[in-house]
Amino acid sequence: MHNPAALSPVIAGAWRLAEWCWTAQQRLTWIQGNLDLGVTSFDHADLYGGCSVESLFGEALALHPSLRDRMQLVSQCSVGLEHPARPGDPLTTWAAPCDHVAAQLRASVEQSLRALRTDHLDLLLIRGPEAPVAIDALAETLQTLRAEGKVLHFGASKLKPTQLALLHRRIALATHQFELSPLQRNSLHDGTLDQCLELGLRPMIWSPLAGGRLFTANDARSHSLRNTLETLAAELGVTATTVVIAWVMRHPSAPLPILGSRRIAVAREAMAAQGLPLDDAAWWRICAAAAEPAAV
């Protein structure tokens, strides 16, 4: 699948950056560690960490500004979502959806640029609104932001299929971001991944490790999956994390997994999934191990 935004095969998710309570230097070490592995894309959103994550990342990047040339910065505009950290802000208020598309998008992008201390975003994702959206006004604003050089590429996050198709017809999107893991396979069956193939979008996958539940949950389903992953990992000479990421990557749409781990070792294991010979039988073994128990 084409990758117009030139994202790395594994993406570093910054959504937990505030939770880690790191110094700016520790954040910079994490950034550099990812870059050294070839994980050059960093996923943010306007509302992550109580609207603080982009500023935390930008503060660290300011310690070594030349690293900006080695990375792709992704952010997300949460259309229609209000956050207590910004009450009444035009960025998060959606009182009149059809009249405020341009103002909200521009406010979001300008805030992200200031916080990340950069002059452009490599990719901006539009997170799906619940309220009606003026799609033409949305696309026109995106085109303007691109013409100004403030955003290079666009994508979607959790858009409904009809919204995604409508927006993609007006401005070419690069990706659609949604959840996929052996424990959360809805996108395999509800048409989300099929639509990515149809539209030529390379998906970005959040929580490919199910937020860590693959390795920490104590229910029977998780135990069954862990046993299968560990068996396959031993057969292939890799770690269970590598096997899971290979399972995600194997879909024909060539998904790009997003990892929200503070541990650089996890990114290293994920990058090792590229080219791992995970055949059809192994892929289905993982699905079967993670299947919901039959109703009785």
Question: Considering 15, 42, 48, 154, which one is annotated as catalytic?
Answer: 48
Please tell me the distance from the alpha carbon of residue 16 to that of residue 218, in angstroms, as a whole number: 23
Contacts with 126 (C-beta within 8 Å, 6 or more apart), sequence order: 76, 77, 79, 105, 138, 142, 154, 155, 156, 157, 159, 167
Using alpha carbons only, what angle is made at residue 261 by residues 259 and 262, rounded to the nearest 5 degrees? 140
Which token pair is 1? Answer: 């699948």
Read out DSSP for 156-173?
Answer: EES--HHHHHHHHHHS--
Which token pair is 104? Answer: 């909200």
Residue 270 annotated to the active site: no
Backbone angles phi, psi at 100, to 5 degrees: -115, 10
Please tell me the distance from the alpha carbon of residue 177 to that of residue 257, in angstroms, as a whole number: 10
Cα dihedral 109, 112, 118, 123 in deg (nearest 10): -60
List, by residue number, the catalytic residues. 48
